[in-house]
A and B are shown apart, each in its own frame.
Chain A
C-alpha cells in the first residue's frame, strides 16, 4: 500500500495531492494518507468519499491522522 505524507501542508494541498493519487487506484486497492490537522482529515475524507472510496481514520499518539482510503467503486 502506498503512503502519502501530507503533514504540514495547508489547504487545499492535502486534498489536491490525495485526489491525484486516488486516480491511480484500482477497485479494492488502498492508499495510506497521513495528515496533521482536523481540517485536512475532514477535507480529504469528504473528497475521497465523494470519489467512491471508503475511509478509515486512526489518530496516532502524536496527534497525527492516518487515513486508509480504499476504492470501492
Chain B
C-alpha cells in the first residue's frame, strides 16, 4: 500500500495531482474567506504572522495564518510516516537567512510569492504576468551561477532537536492563535480590517494546509524548482505540477465566479510593472540560490532541515523590515513610486545575491 502510494507520488501523475489539489484548495480558501487571489500566499501569510507578533505595524496585515503552521505540520507528519525525517543543518545558515530576508523584500514589492503569482493569474490579474516573468528571469540567473559551480556547502546530520525547532515554533504560534492572550502591549495583533481580517475558519484552513503539506512533502512540489529544472535540465516534472496548480485554481475560480480579467483595480495588487518584475526578479534569484521556493522551504523545515528553517525565519524578519521601511508595494488604489524605498531595497538585494553568486563557487571537496 505504502509502496504503491510512493510510486504514484513520484510519478508525473503524482506531481500533477499535487498541483491540482493545491490549486483547487487555494481557490476554495478564497471562497471560504481568505483574501482575493490569496487563497494561499506563503510570503503574505508569513508577513501576516510577522505583523501579528509586532515585527511590523501595518495594521491591515496582521494575523497568525494557520496555513503556514499546517504546511510545516503536514510535512512533518509525512516525513515521520515515510521515515524521511532527518535533522540536518550547517550549510551557510547566515547566508540562507539573508536570502530569505531579500526573497521576502522582493516578493512583497510584487505583493506575493510564486504561489500567489499563479493564483493572481488564475484570478485574471494581468500584473502577475510581469511578476512571473521576473521570477523566471531571476531563477534563470540563479541557474547560470549553479552551472558555474555556486553552492552553499554541505549540511550535516545533527541532533533531532535541531530539526524540531521550527515545528515547535509553529506549535507556539498555533497556541497563540487558539488562546489569543490579551497583553497590555496589544500583542498578538489581529487585523480588524483589510487582508489580515479576511480569513477562512482557522480549523478548516489548518486542515487544508496539513493536507497540502503532506502532499507537497511526498511529491517535492516546488515552484522555483519547476522553472529551474526546465532551464537547467529540460526536465518538466515539477513544471507539470505548477501548470496543474494554475489549471486547478483557474477552473475553480471560474466555478466560484472569482475570475476578473484586467490590470488596474486588481485585489491586493499594483500596476507599477517595474516593481512587479523587479521584485520577483530578486525573489526568484534568492529562491534559486537557496534551493527552494518559500513553500518548499516550509516543507523542508517540516522534515528536519534546519537550514530551510533559517530561511523561513529570514523571510519573517524580512517582512517586518519591508513594512517598517516602506519597501513593500502599496496596493490599489495606491501605486508604489518607481523610485522609492522599494526600488532601492530591490537593488541592494540584487547586489547581495549577485555577489553571493560570484563569490560562493568553492569546489565541493573543500
Q: Write the A28-59 contact mask toward B (1 if CB under 8 angstroms, else 0).
A: 00000000111100110011001000000000
- Knowing A9-B151, A9-B364, A13-B151 touch, does A36 contact B228 (C-beta < 8 A)? no
B91–A15 touching, CB < 8 Å: no
Q: Say whether A7 faces chain B, with CB atoms less than 8 Å apart.
A: yes
A-binding segment of B81-89, B202-210, B246-254, B338-346: B81-89
Cβ 8 A contact of B91, one of A10, A16, A19, A47: A10
A residues less than 8 Å from B157 (CB atoms): 36
Separation in Å of the A42 CB from the closest CB of chain B?
6
Question: Which B residues from 198 to 248 make CB contacts under 8 A with A?
Answer: 220, 222, 225, 228-229, 232-233, 235, 237
A36–B86 touching, CB < 8 Å: yes
Separation in Å of the A25 CB from the closest CB of chain B?
17
A47–B235 touching, CB < 8 Å: yes
Q: Write the A1-27 contact mask toward B (1 if CB under 8 angstroms, else 0).
A: 000000111111101110100000000
Q: Say whether B155 faces chain A, with CB atoms less than 8 Å apart.
A: yes
Cβ 8 A contact of B291, one of A10, A19, A36, A50: A10
Q: Say whether B154 faces chain A, with CB atoms less than 8 Å apart.
A: yes
B residues less than 8 Å from A46 (CB atoms): 10, 235, 237
A residues less than 8 Å from B220 (CB atoms): 39, 42-43
B233–A47 touching, CB < 8 Å: yes
- Please report the C-alpha to C-alpha distance between residue A36 and residue B155 in the assembled complex, in whole angstroms: 10
Which residue in chain B gives the minimum CB-CB distance to A63?
A: B86
Q: Say whether B156 faces chain A, with CB atoms less than 8 Å apart.
A: yes
Q: Say whether B152 faces chain A, with CB atoms less than 8 Å apart.
A: yes
Question: Which B residues from 322 to 358 make CB contacts under 8 A with A?
Answer: none
Task: State the main secondary structure of chain B at its contact with A.
Answer: loop
- Please report the C-alpha to C-alpha distance between residue A11 and residue B212 in the assembled complex, in whole angstroms: 21
Interface band, chain B: 20 to 34
- Knowing A8-B88, A9-B364, A39-B220 touch, does A15 contact B233 (C-beta < 8 A)? yes
B residues less than 8 Å from A12 (CB atoms): 146, 225, 228-229, 232-233, 291
A19–B233 touching, CB < 8 Å: yes
A37–B151 touching, CB < 8 Å: no
- Please report the C-alpha to C-alpha distance between residue A13 and residue B289 in the assembled complex, in whole angstroms: 11
B154–A9 touching, CB < 8 Å: yes
Most chain B CB inside 10 Å of its own CB: which residue of A10, A16, A19, A43? A10
- Knowing A36-B86, A47-B235 touch, does A7 contact B154 (C-beta < 8 A)? yes
Which residue in chain B gives the minimum CB-CB distance to A4?
A: B364
Separation in Å of the A49 CB from the closest CB of chain B?
11
- Please report the C-alpha to C-alpha distance between residue A64 and residue B154 in the assembled complex, in whole angstroms: 15
Question: Which B residues from 148 to 167 make CB contacts under 8 A with A?
Answer: 151-157
Cβ 8 A contact of B84, one of A10, A13, A37: A37
Which residue in chain B gives the minimum CB-CB distance to A64?
A: B157
A17–B364 touching, CB < 8 Å: yes
- Please report the C-alpha to C-alpha distance between residue A9 and residue B364 in the assembled complex, in whole angstroms: 9
- Please report the C-alpha to C-alpha distance between residue A41 and residue B353 in the assembled complex, in whole angstroms: 29
> 4 new A-B pairs (CB below 8 Å) besides A10-B155, A47-B235?
A9-B154, A12-B233, A12-B291, A50-B235
Q: Which A-B residue pairs are the 3 nearest by beta carbons?
A: A8-B154, A10-B291, A38-B84
Measuring CB to CB, which residues of chain B are less than 8 angstroms from any residue of chain A? 10, 82-84, 86, 88, 90-91, 146-147, 151-157, 220, 222, 225, 228-229, 232-233, 235, 237, 291-292, 307, 364
A sample of 15 inter-chain contacts (CB < 8 A) reads: A8-B91, A8-B153, A8-B154, A9-B364, A10-B91, A10-B292, A11-B291, A12-B146, A16-B147, A19-B233, A36-B88, A37-B84, A37-B88, A38-B82, A43-B220
